Amino acid sequence: MNEHVPPSTEDAAQRAEDAAEGAGAPEARKRPRPGERREQILQTLAAMLEQPGAERITTAALAARLGVSEAALYRHFASKAQMFEGLIDFIEQAVFTRVAQITGREPSDAAAPEDGTRQAMRVVALLLQFGERNPGLARVMVGDALVLEHERLQQRMNQFFDRIESTLRQCLRPAAGAAGSATPSVDAQVAASVLTAFIQGRLQRFARSGFRRLPTEHLEASLALML
């Protein structure tokens, strides 16, 4: 995972883990600081998801990759679903922080039509570039990594894309009104849904091609056809 997952503080659990894992280890062994193990777990999970054709990841496989026991994982996460929720939390924070920067905190119907269209294009590019840089997270975003996992995980990603679609709709409404549309809100909604489906389709193709077909392929030309 190329983006940096923010650590959380779990000092007591970390100290317990250090005591358990450090028994009999050389004194010079470098142990993770409080919160680092949680970050390592999420980064390793994302890295395992980057393997083309990766099957469902088990906690046993994840623990083996980290060189710890499964019990050590559960000191930081109550379940594997919580681990995926940690990845989704990171996706939401990383993406929506940047979306707010693009749109000026809140998309506004008062924005100039060309500004709104430009914002929408930048939001689309942001999502595709984020997925391209983080293949494992792209699999989470499109649900490939969530098959057979808890249903609430897919629901959260559905809500994520609903929020993206809402942002795009607000960006595009001024352009629809300026074009003389009798139903600018409807037209903006249609355009936003098309762009959202385009984002999801590109990320899905990226994941299912073994990360060979890049999401940003011919992006400018594709957006020109839709906007």
The tens digit of pLDDT for each residue in 193-210 reads 999 999 999 999 999 999
| CB distance 87 to 139 below 8 Å | no
Rounded CA-CA distance 86/115 in Å is: 34
* pLDDT single digits (tens) 96-122: 999 999 998 655 555 677 889 999 999
How confident is the prediction for the chain on average, in pLDDT?
A: 86
Architecture of domain 80-225: Orthogonal Bundle (1.10)
Identify the pLDDT of residue 105: 60
Distance CA 153, CA 169 (A): 25
The predicted-structure confidence for 56-69, as pLDDT tens digits, reads as follows 899 999 999 999 99
Average pLDDT over residues 127-146: 97
| Distance from C-alpha of 75 to C-alpha of 68, rounded to nearest angstrom | 11
pLDDT of residue 114: 81
Whole-prediction pTM: 0.82
**Lowest mean pLDDT across 33-47, 65-79, 130-144:** 33-47
Q: What is d(CA 169, CA 116) in angstroms, rounded to the nearest whole number?
A: 9
One-letter amino acid for residue 51 of the chain: Q
Helix (H) or strand (E) run with residue 36 in it:
helix 36-49
- Say yes or no to pLDDT of 217 above 80: yes
Domain boundaries, the chain: 80-225
Cβ atoms of residues 203 and 215 within 8 Å = yes
**What is the predicted pLDDT for the residue at 55?**
76
